[in-house]
Chains A and B, each alone.
Chain A
Amino acid sequence: MKDLIVGIVALAIGVAAGYMINDKGTQVASLEEENAGLKSQLATSSSAPAAKTGGQTIANVKKKGFVQCGVSQGVPGFSNPDASDNWTGIDVDVCRAVAAAVLGDSTKVKFSPLTAKERFTALQSGEIDILSRNTTWTATRDSALGVNFAGVNYYDGQGFMVRKSLGVKGAMDLAGAAVCTNLGTTTELNVADFFRANNMEYKLVAFEKADEVVAAYDAGRCDVYTTDQSALAAQRIKLSSPDDHMVLPEVISKEPLGPVVRHGDDQWLDVVKWSLYAMLNAEEMGITKTNIGTMMNSDNPSILRFVGKEGDVGKNLGLSADWSANIIKQVGNYGESFERNVGPNTAIKLTRGVNANWKDGGLMYGMPGR
């Protein structure tokens, strides 16, 4: 009994003390109301301590001298390490572009390989500056996770891969199949929607890491491997005999993949967004890694603005005047990055399709750089 009283008294003191420390000034009528309104109360309470993220990231990056970039654990063509831990891929190039823009050196990037499950927590907690890891832009992620999407660097859709020997013609033949995929992805939800909408049975085997998905599918645990079509193309080359497998024609979802930053730091969001646009606009204007030197002496005003000879865009972004010239010099434009990493001459063999520049009928459209 005595213990109980001690407990209750201590609790009361604790809550009161905590309240006073935390809430100097804001009054609350009753405890219940406090509970219900705690969140909104504290949001307006001026004295509540909180991590300040606005405008901090760029200063931080400049101070530490590199960009911390969250990538996959290895999806060839998108973000993949080689034997000596050099990362390449179109997702990696986004981080390199940002490093070139902010620090003038595209090699000043450190990579954090993340599973699908870990990625947003790593970004929220400030462990990484950019998440550039085949991440789909969705309403829930944009609104509930405290992150902002800075654009799209690959328009994708979810597909299915099966063994040719199964004799499956299309996704509608998959009733009763066992399906392997990664957990914590949009994939996991889309596949549930697809089978439910078509009234088909299925068994979902969801792994944390992509390598285990590939190994289990390869061993025959599943009839189907499902993920973004681009990743299917990339992961397929890891199978023991890639030619025994085929990707079904159906695309069951929209998967716009792009770089993500923390919510609340608008300046950093702008920097990442415009670094991506710079790559798109350069392709549109025909500015490449090889001709950027001669472009410096162009008499076209939009090119002069792009290379920083005219206008104040760099200054307004908090960057040097030659920020976008540095991106192209060191990383290349979007088309170059695409060809180098995932294009027809690589093992991934993706065609531009909807990812062509808008002038060629695709969706890649950079906002005007004036």
Chain B
Amino acid sequence: MAEEVIQSQKPSKPLVWNDPTYRALFFQVLVLGGVVSLGYVLISNTLTNLERQGIASGFGFLKGTAGFSILMTLIDYSEEDSYFWAFIVSLLNTLLVAGIGIFFATILGFFIGVCRLSSNWMLSKIAAVYIETLRNIPLLLQIFFWYFGVLRGLPSPGNSINVFDTYFLNIRGLYSPSPIFEDGFSLILWALITGFVATFFISRWARKRQQETGQQFPTFLSSISLVIGLPLIASVVAGFPLSWEYPVLRGFNFTGGFVVIPELVALSLALSLYTASFIAEIVRAGILAISRGQTEASYALGLQAWPTLRLVVIPQALRVIIPPLTNQYLNLTKNSSLAAAIAYPDLVLVFAGTILMQTGQAVEIIAITMGVYLAISLMISAFMNWYNKKMALVES
């Protein structure tokens, strides 16, 4: 009897349209369907209008012959290559300048942020002036400043600054010898890789030993000697299988060797100096967010100022620093598109500039360009999120 009562009180299965799960599902499908059909209408409408105005459309243009030259290419490229290849070349240039910018902005930003907090009055004021000036001047102006500043300061190719007849600096760039790999070079590569792997295991072992016994191991010295020493031995064994191609002045300019163009230098310089000023403030805020007690406790344990910063403060500050730092990395990457102003052949200059003009396919090209920047940004975010998780305090 009692059982029966309970049974009948159990709620009966609701009708499908009253079931909250199904209802939610229904509305989700509806909204998503709405968005997709809106997108569809927009796209096909655009196509119709392009067709009606006699404007070429579609992605077939990517197969066309580029026909123009690109100032700096990380991979082989010539005028006979396709627009698609030119796109890849320019994308790599964008990634290069963003990578360089992020690297230097981070180092400089951390350094200045720490200086800003220094008890040394001079140091902290210099850092403050740096931050306030650089982050308040528009980036484009800074790019022009460095570009024309760099150009103005450098001599013509005929009067290059010459270092041992191997390095030459002039207004067309910094020329250095480029390596030519001969047979047996792979031995050196393997030695280098072995050096790195060994370093990795040694430092793991050393850390463990220090945690257990408190004894320190000269990890730094041993790593350096492994990473440099092993390849050195290998090259002696292989009989130095490496020769260099030296730049030589022929006619107007240097040919041969490896060249860093002033456009790359000016753009990287402007991007890193500008972004460093924001990163410095983020670092300062991050460090200030760690309570003073942490530092004092660390001092009380007998740690000096630098180990305190490195082992106690920064690991905790990083948790505060990483999310806004990610923003700065994204900004830097997007700001690198100002390259077009000073002829650095990035994605915007080559693809959304020259190729857009030569083919006239604005809609497709701008869509691809936006997609690429979005993808780069998402990748940076994903990496930083992963790093952030790794850095998070594990409370057990």
Q: A24 an interface residue at 8 Å Cβ cutoff? A: no
Taking a contact as CB atoms under 8 Å apart, the answer to whether A10 and B33 are in contact is: yes
A136 to nearest B CB, angstroms? 12
Q: Which of B270-278, B301-309, B357-365 is the interface stretch?
A: B357-365
Q: Which residues of B contact A42 (CB under 8 A)?
A: 44, 47-48, 51
User: Using an 8 Å CB-CB cutoff, how does the interface string of B24-38 with A read, 1 for contact, 0 for none?
Assistant: 010011001111111
Contact of A59 with B by CB under 8 A: no
Distance in angstroms between the alpha carbons of A202 and B251 in the assembled complex: 11
Across the interface, which residues of B come within 8 angstroms of A205, CB to CB? 71, 263, 343
Chain A 1-26, CB within 8 Å of chain B: the 1/0 string?
Answer: 01000110111011101110110000
Judging by beta carbons under 8 Å apart, are B255 and A176 in contact?
yes
Q: What is the CB-to-nearest-CB distance from A53 to chain B, in angstroms, rounded to a whole number? A: 7
Q: What is the minimal beta-carbon distance from B48 to any residue of chain A, in angstroms? A: 4
A124-B53, A221-B171, A221-B172 known; A184 vs B354 contact (CB < 8 Å):
yes
B350 to A: closest C-beta gap in Å? 8
Chain B, residues 49-90, CB within 8 Å of chain A (1/0): the string is 111111111100000000111110000000100000000000
- Cβ A177 vs Cβ B252 within 8 A: yes
**A201 surroundings in chain B (CB, below 8 A):** 255
Interface size on A, residues (CB 8 A): 70
A18 in contact with B37 (CB, 8 Å):
yes
**How many residues of B sit at the interface, in one of the four size bands?**
35 or more
Contact B252 A10 (CB under 8 A): no
Cβ–Cβ < 8 Å partners of B29 in chain A: 6, 9-10, 13
Contact A219/B37 with A39-B51, A117-B353, A183-B340 known, Cβ cut-off 8 Å: no
Beta-carbon nearest neighbor of B55 in chain A: A146
Bound Cα distance A215, B253 (Å): 20
- Residues of A154-186 whose CB lies within 8 A of B: 166, 174-178, 180, 183-185
Please tell me if the beta carbons of B32 and A14 are within 8 angstroms of each other in the complex. yes
Q: Is A209 engaged at the interface, CB distance under 8 Å to the other chain? A: yes
Known contacts A189-B358, A205-B71, A206-B349; A14 and B34 CB within 8 A of each other: yes
B156 within 8 A of A: yes
Chain B contacts with A in 1-51, Cβ cutoff 8 A: 25, 28-29, 32-41, 44-45, 47-51
A49-B45, A144-B360, A204-B71 given as contacts; is B171 within 8 A of A220 (CB)? yes
**Interface pair B253/A22, CB less than 8 Å apart:** no
Interface pair A185/B34, CB less than 8 Å apart = no
B55 touches A219 (CB 8 A): no
Knowing A184-B354, A207-B342, A215-B148, say if A146 contacts B69 (CB, 8 Å).
no
The CA-CA distance from A143 to B53 in the complex, in Å, is: 10
Q: Cα distance A111–B308 when bound, in Å? A: 63
- Residue of chain B at shortest CB distance from A141: B360
Cβ–Cβ contact B55 & A145, under 8 A? yes
Residue in B closest to A51 when the chains form the complex, CB atoms: B49
With A14-B37, A38-B47, A39-B47 known as contacts, the answer to whether A216 contacts B343 (CB < 8 A) is: yes
Given contacts A21-B41, A50-B49, contact A219 B253 (CB under 8 A): no
Residue A315 CB within 8 A of the other chain:
no
B176 to chain A, nearest CB (A): 17
Q: CB of B341 within 8 A of chain A?
A: yes
Residues of B within 8 A of A49 (CB): 45, 48
Measured CB to CB, the closest approach of chain A to B192, in angstroms, equals 33
Q: Are A22 and B41 in contact (CB under 8 A)?
A: yes
Interface pair B151/A216, CB less than 8 Å apart: yes
Cα–Cα, bound, A204→B57 (Å)? 29
A283 at interface, CB cutoff 8 A:
no
Of the residues B36, B48, B79, B356, contact of A13 by C-beta under 8 Å? B36
**Contact between B45 and A17, CB atoms less than 8 A apart:** no
A193 within 8 A of B: yes
Asked if B54 and A50 make an inter-chain contact with CB atoms under 8 angstroms apart, the answer reads: no
Interface of B is mostly: helix
The tally of CB-CB contacts under 8 A between chains A and B is 199
**Closest CB of chain B to A96's CB: distance in Å?**
27
Bound: A53/B54 CA distance, A: 12
CA distance A185 to B354 in the complex (A): 8
Alpha-carbon separation in the docked complex, A121 to B56 (Å): 13
A120 contacts B360, CB within 8 Å? Answer: yes
Contact of A336 with B by CB under 8 A: no
Q: Does B262 touch A at the CB level, under 8 Å? A: yes
B40 contacts A22, C-beta separation under 8 Å: yes
List of A residues within 8 angstroms of B358 by Cβ:
140, 184, 189
Which of A22, A124, A212, A221 has a CB less than 8 Å from the CB of B341? A212
A161–B80 Cα distance when bound, in Å, is 27
Judge whether A62 is part of the interface by a CB distance below 8 angstroms.
Answer: no
- Asked if A264 contacts B36 (CB within 8 A), the reply is no
Contacts of A285 in B (CB 8 A): none
Contact B353 A178 (CB under 8 A): no
A244 to chain B, nearest CB (A): 13
Asked if A219 and B148 sit within 8 Å, CB to CB, the answer is yes
Q: Which residue on chain A has the smallest CB distance to residue B32? A: A10
> Cβ of B68: which chain A residues have Cβ within 8 Å of it?
188-189, 192, 204, 206
Chain A 107-123, CB within 8 Å of chain B: the 1/0 string? Answer: 00000000011001100
Is A91 interfacial (CB-CB < 8 Å)? no
Chain A residue nearest to B28 (CB atoms) is: A6
Is the CB–CB distance between A116 and B357 below 8 Å? yes
Q: Is B250 in contact with chain A by the CB < 8 A criterion?
A: yes
Interface pair B35/A14, CB less than 8 Å apart: yes
Which chain A residues border B292 with CB–CB below 8 Å? none
- When chains A and B are docked, how far (Å) is the Cα of A45 from the Cα of B47? 12
User: Is residue A223 contacting chain B, with contact meaning CB distance below 8 A?
Assistant: yes
Given known contacts A39-B51, A121-B362, is B32 in contact with A7 (CB within 8 Å)? yes
Known: A144-B360, A206-B349. 8 other contacts (CB 8 A): A13-B37, A17-B33, A39-B47, A48-B48, A124-B362, A178-B172, A203-B69, A208-B340
Q: List 25 A-B contacts (CB under 8 A).
A: A6-B29, A6-B32, A10-B28, A10-B33, A11-B36, A15-B37, A17-B37, A18-B44, A21-B41, A39-B51, A43-B52, A117-B353, A140-B359, A141-B360, A146-B53, A174-B252, A177-B252, A203-B172, A205-B343, A206-B71, A206-B354, A212-B341, A216-B151, A216-B343, A219-B152
